[in-house]
Amino acid sequence: MHLFADSQSAVAIAFVVLRVAVATSFLVHGVQKWAMWKRQPSEQLPAPMLSILRFLSIVEPLGGLALISGFLTQWAAAGFIIIMLGAIQLKSLKLHKKFTGDGGWELDYLLLAVALSLVLLGGGRLALDSLL
C-alpha cells in the first residue's frame, strides 16, 4: 500500500519538506542574530566576528524565505553550504567541539548535507523555480 498514488507527488512533497525544514532553521537562527546590531565589539566578541554575525542576521532569513518559496533555491542552498562550512570549521577547529555532544556540529553537518542535496537537485516541482 502506497501513501501517494504516484511517486511524483511524493517527491514533490518531499522537496517541500526539505526546503521548509532547512529554511525554518536558518530563519530562526538568523532572526536570533538581530540582537547583534545592538552589541558593541568586545574581547569576547571582536569586531570581525560581530560583522559576520550581523551579515548572517540578514542573509540567513532571506535565504530561508527563498527556500520556503522555492525561489532561487539552488543559490540560497549554496549560500547555506558556505555558512555551514564556516560553522563546522568554527566549532571543530577553533572551539574544539566534537561531532556529537554539547555544542557538537552534527546538526550543522546535517544542514550542510540537505543544502548540498538542494543545490544538486533543485527545489522540486512545487517551487517558484519551476515556473522560471
Domain count, the chain: 1
Q: What pTM was estimated for this model as a whole?
A: 0.91
DSSP string, 35-91: GGGG----SSS-HHHHHHHHHHHHHHHHHHHHHHHTSSHHHHHHHHHHHHHHHHHII
Mean pLDDT split into 10-residue runs, the chain, 132 residues:
71 94 97 96 94 97 97 98 97 94 94 97 93 82
Residue 125 is assigned to a structural domain of this protein: yes
Q: Which residue has the cell 555544542?
A: 103
Residue 2 is assigned to a structural domain of this protein: no
**Which residue segment(s) compose the domain that 98 sits in?**
7-131
